[in-house]
Amino acid sequence: MTVEAPTSLGDWLDRHGRDIGLLTVDDVVDPGSFEATAILHQVETSSGGPPILFSNLRNLSGDRSPARMLFNTYSRRRSVGLALGVEAETWNDLLEALPEKSSGLLKPTTSAEAPVQGNVIAGDDLDLRILPWAKHVEMEGGLYFTPIVAARKPSSDRYNLSWNRVMFLDPTHAGVHISPRQLWSFQREAEEGGEDLPVAMILGHHPAFNLAAAALTAMDIDEYHVAGALMGQPLRITPSITFGPNLMVPSDAEMIIEGRLIAAHRVVEGPFGEYMRYLGPQKLSHLFEADAITYRPDPIVLEIFAGHRDHLNAHVSIHASLLAAARTAVPQVTRVGWFQGGGPTTAVVGLDKSADGQPMRAAMAILSAGNLIKQVIVVDDDIDVFDAQSVMWAISTRVRSDEDVTMLKGLQGSVLDPSHPGFGTTTGFVIDATWRIGQPRPPVARVPADAVSRFPLDRYTLKEP
Amino acid sequence: MHIKQVTCPRCGALSIVDGGLFEIGTVRLKCTNCAFYFEPAGSPRSKTIAEVTNANVEVTIWEPEDAR
């Protein structure tokens, strides 16, 4: 069911704050000393991790930050749904609604007025230490943000949005981990021409804007258009302060750091708590040099609670893309799930199977949709793909390993997967845990439903010893 | 990404590093505990920066002022 989509991050908080369990912390908090995530951890343990807005933050200079900071935007299904204008009773409802939302691409509009440029810090005044950089989990290599990085492909007008981890290095530099996907290819194109790549690090916008950055889109699709689709309104853009029309930036963002990915330079960056719930190691990453900080009055930095549910759920657009890809290949696909523990490397496909061979086709479609998934388990649709116990029951009772497990070598994987050998390939598998067509299925051991009706429990006295 | 465990020679803290970066050996790592920069002990120095970064241009390693 659709509901009226929020118009902005502030509108989402104002209209749905109570509904999504928003908590606000007005005490002075230093996110650079784990103070914010210590609070998040304790609240998550006791009440399941609602969104938390920190309104009074200390920055790296020890002063009050100009920005507030919001964590756990995506920690709950309801908050994700309401960000997209969807009232979803289950994760599956949300996944079913997303493809339709994201297919309605909306061209951005250019605005003369840009709230995000209400305050501009550049030149000698530029200092990244005014921002509330955070430490999330133990053994992280530095202070981090998790912004959306917007970049234009050097040889075209197409924009990409990607979600990146960014580590503070000094008042004008940061290290950026970039996976070998679209932003990587943009930077490589610029670098091979001897050029830096202009980018905008967007620290907060409409909560659906960030989900566009996590979507799997074709190289020829402008992700500013995808952002408009998910937000339910065209993205307003404006020339950046530093690069003018050569880098258009979202007018209604909360805060932006403009700068460049420096060609032919890399920097040691990491470790950082990743969505697979391990720390990604210290590695060679890209070097960012800042040119300007711009922000609207009283901005809110939207930050991910790294390595926690907020982080995994932020991949909901990818999850929905996998369902759509599998169903395109095999219309009998009913659901696609993944687990909090397995994260986006293992997918479970539910299938109303009508022909043998469909499980492998559906699995191949998911494996081909991106580089995250390396393992696919296909089950009949009597199995709840979101319930690990149910999935393991199917694997335990419907699989003969010599016939139903297929190893797949030579796959591109995710460099954040700890089992993955850097830039080499990885190995995955497909488990077909469905019954064969025509094979008699053993009846499931159940007490007859009519017996339960005939002998209701309230007729009896159950005594404790 | 294969990881290697490294020990800071100054404070003894353990940290994890990308196996490729470890195998370069000449790029200094940063201790996550005391911020000391050091070359990893035991590196086979068998990989180049070009191999590990997969870049098509010659790459310079940048370090912040506090590392110099």
Asked if A407 reaches chain B (Cβ–Cβ under 8 Å), the answer is no
Instruction: List per-residue pLDDT tens for chain A, 465 residues long.
Output: 778 888 899 999 999 999 999 999 999 999 999 999 999 999 988 777 899 999 999 999 999 999 999 999 998 889 999 999 998 888 888 888 888 888 889 999 999 999 999 999 999 999 999 999 999 999 999 999 999 999 999 999 999 999 999 999 999 999 999 988 899 999 999 999 999 999 999 999 999 999 999 888 887 899 999 999 999 999 999 999 999 999 999 999 999 999 999 999 999 999 998 877 788 899 999 999 999 999 999 999 999 988 788 888 888 888 888 999 999 999 999 999 987 655 678 999 999 999 999 999 999 999 998 888 999 999 999 999 999 999 999 999 999 999 999 999 999 887 778 777 666 788 999 999 999 999 899 999 999 999 999 999 999 999 999
User: How much is the pLDDT for A343?
Assistant: 65
3-state SS, A289-335, equals EEEEEEECCCCEEECCCCCCHHHHHCCHHHHHHHHHHHHHHCCCEEE
Record: contact A191-B54, CB cut-off 8 A: no
DSSP string, A224-244: HHHHHHHHTSPPEEEEETTTE
Record: contact B32-A415, CB cut-off 8 A: no
Which one of B2, B32, B62 has the shortest CB-CB distance to A422?
B2
Q: Which amino acid is at A111?
A: S
Asked if B2 reaches chain A (Cβ–Cβ under 8 Å), the answer is yes
Tokens standing for residue B18: 């990308």
**Three-class SS state of A40:** helix
* Closest Cα in chain A, distance from residue B10 (Å): 16
pLDDT in tens, B20-67: 999 999 999 999 999 999 999 999 999 999 999 989 999 999 999 877
Tokens standing for residue A346: 């293992």
Q: Which amino acid is at A215?
A: A
Record: contact B49-A284, CB cut-off 8 A: yes
Q: Per-domain residue ranges for chain B?
A: 3-54
Record: contact A421-B1, CB cut-off 8 A: yes
Q: How far apart are CA A386 and CA A147, in angstroms?
A: 29
User: How much is the pLDDT for A422?
Assistant: 60
Q: State the Cα angle at A329 between A335 and A311, rounded to 5°.
A: 45
Asked if B1 reaches chain A (Cβ–Cβ under 8 Å), the answer is yes
Q: Which residue has the tokens 């784990």?
A: A34
Which one of B20, B57, B63 has the shortest CB-CB distance to A422?
B20
Question: CB-based contacts of A288: which residues, under 8 Å, 6+ apart?
Answer: A166, A173, A174, A175, A176, A199, A201, A259, A260, A261, A262
State the greatest distance between any 2 C-alpha atoms of chain B, in Å, as a whole number: 37
User: How much is the pLDDT for A421?
Assistant: 66
Q: In the CATH scheme, what is the homologous superfamily, with its name and number, of domain A316-433?
A: UbiD C-terminal domain-like (3.40.1670.10)
Using a CB-CB cut-off of 8 Å, the residues of chain A touching B21 are 268, 281-284
In chain B, whose CA is at the least distance from the CA of A170? Answer: B64
Question: What DSSP character marks residue A344?
Answer: G
Asked if B15 reaches chain A (Cβ–Cβ under 8 Å), the answer is yes
Using a CB-CB cut-off of 8 Å, the residues of chain A touching B62 are 173, 262, 265-267, 287
Sign of the alpha-carbon dihedral angle for A370, A373, A379, A385: negative
Tokens standing for residue A22: 């928003």
How far are the Cα atoms of A239, A333, A365, A436, B15 from residue A358, in angstroms, in the given order? Answer: 49, 9, 11, 11, 45
Contact A116, A258 (CB under 8 A): no
Question: CB-based contacts of A267: which residues, under 8 Å, 6+ apart?
Answer: A169, A173, A175, A284, A285, A286, A287, B61, B62, B63
Tokens standing for residue B44: 């086979």
Contact B19, B3 (CB under 8 A): yes
Question: CB-based contacts of A171: which residues, under 8 Å, 6+ apart?
Answer: A126, A127, A128, A129
Mutation target for A interface from B59, B62, B63, B68: give the one with most A CBs within 10 A.
B62
User: How much is the pLDDT for A371?
Assistant: 83
Q: Per-domain residue ranges for chain A?
A: 9-313, 316-433
Asked if B18 reaches chain A (Cβ–Cβ under 8 Å), the answer is yes
* Closest Cα in chain A, distance from residue B27 (Å): 8
Adjacent-strand bridge partners of A246: none
Domain A9-313 listed as CATH 2.30.110.10: yes
Torsion, Cα B14 B17 B19 B25, to 10 degrees, reads -90
Contact A77, A91 (CB under 8 A): yes
Asked if B41 reaches chain A (Cβ–Cβ under 8 Å), the answer is no
Record: contact A265-B16, CB cut-off 8 A: no
Mutation target for B interface from A135, A268, A287, A288: give the one with most B CBs within 10 A.
A268
Asked if A141 reaches chain B (Cβ–Cβ under 8 Å), the answer is yes
Q: How far apart are CA A299 and CA A253, in angstroms?
A: 9
Asked if A415 reaches chain B (Cβ–Cβ under 8 Å), the answer is yes
CB contacts < 8 A, A to B, total 105
Helices (H), B11-48: 19-24
**Three-class SS state of A218:** coil
Contact A164, A183 (CB under 8 A): yes
Sign of the alpha-carbon dihedral angle for A384, A317, A51, A282: positive
Tokens standing for residue A342: 């397995």
> Which of A:64-103 have CB within 8 Å of B?
none
Using a CB-CB cut-off of 8 Å, the residues of chain B touching A266 are 49, 53, 55, 59-62
Q: Do the first three CATH levels of A9-313 and A316-433 match, i.e. the same topology?
A: no
Asked if A427 reaches chain B (Cβ–Cβ under 8 Å), the answer is no
